[in-house]
Amino acid sequence: MQLRADIQIQTVIKALKDVIVPAIDPANKLAVEQAHLAMGLLTLLAAQMPVQFRFDHDELQRLVRAAEALERIRGQDPEASAELRRLSASRAEASDVLEKSRIDPARILTSIRALRADISALILTEPRDGLEAGQFSAAEQLVLELSRAQLLRDRSLLISLGNEIDPAAIPAIGTLLPHLD
């Protein structure tokens, strides 16, 4: 099973198109219509996913600018002092979020893929003369531990699919991920 939502969505669309829709009785117009609506929605989601972060980032930037302008416009209004304090605090927090979220998640994924490939390439190279057994063993242990931790995270992320023999033995994904704030 793929972890990446974009690949999962494409897989579901293909299954709907190639297997499920052809199996629906054409006389059942409602079922045919709903299947096509589901495929259309999934296609829309697949198209929106690559820009969703930038879309949200842009909206937050525009809201921060609007809040700044409203604070200037209504800043001396005694009737709105409590609301202005809340708005100012929300704007300050949103500005902090914007400052901390300058990297597009697509760049993170690109970096993940590049590091995976480069680590694999290094590990697959034949050890040269002079590489001590301890160095090779240390590299091997590091990669095995990295793989073990990633596999646990992958299994936890997909636990709801019901493929685990003992799901209680798999920690919840939230406990395996660090908090970024």
Evaluate whether residue 128 is within a structural domain: yes
Evaluate whether residue 89 is within a structural domain: yes
Residue 23: phi and psi, rounded to 5, are -85, -10
Evaluate whether residue 5 is within a structural domain: no
Residue 83: which domain range? 53-176
- pLDDT tens, position by position, 112-160: 999 999 998 888 877 666 667 778 788 889 999 999 999 999 999 888 8
CA-to-CA distance for 83 and 88, rounded, in angstroms?
A: 8
With pLDDT > 70 as the criterion, what percentage of the chain qualifies? Answer: 96
User: Is the pLDDT score of 170 beyond 80?
Assistant: yes
pLDDT at 181: 66
DSSP reduced 3-state for 146: helix
Under DSSP, the state recorded for 171 is: P
pLDDT band at residue 77 using 50, 70 and 90 as cut-offs: confident
Question: In the chain, how many domains are there?
Answer: 1
User: Is the pLDDT score of 180 beyond 80?
Assistant: no
Evaluate whether residue 74 is within a structural domain: yes
Evaluate whether residue 150 is within a structural domain: yes
pLDDT at 20: 96
- pLDDT tens, position by position, 26-61: 999 999 999 999 999 999 999 888 888 888 999 999
User: 62-66, 67-71, 138-142 — which is least confidently predicted?
Assistant: 138-142
Evaluate whether residue 35 is within a structural domain: no
Residue 21's closest CA among 9, 33, 11, 10? Answer: 33
pLDDT at 2: 67
pLDDT at 12: 94
DSSP 91-119: HHHHHHHHHHT-S-HHHHHHHHHHHHHHH
- pLDDT tens, position by position, 88-108: 999 999 999 999 998 888 898
Evaluate whether residue 9 is within a structural domain: no
Evaluate whether residue 133 is within a structural domain: yes
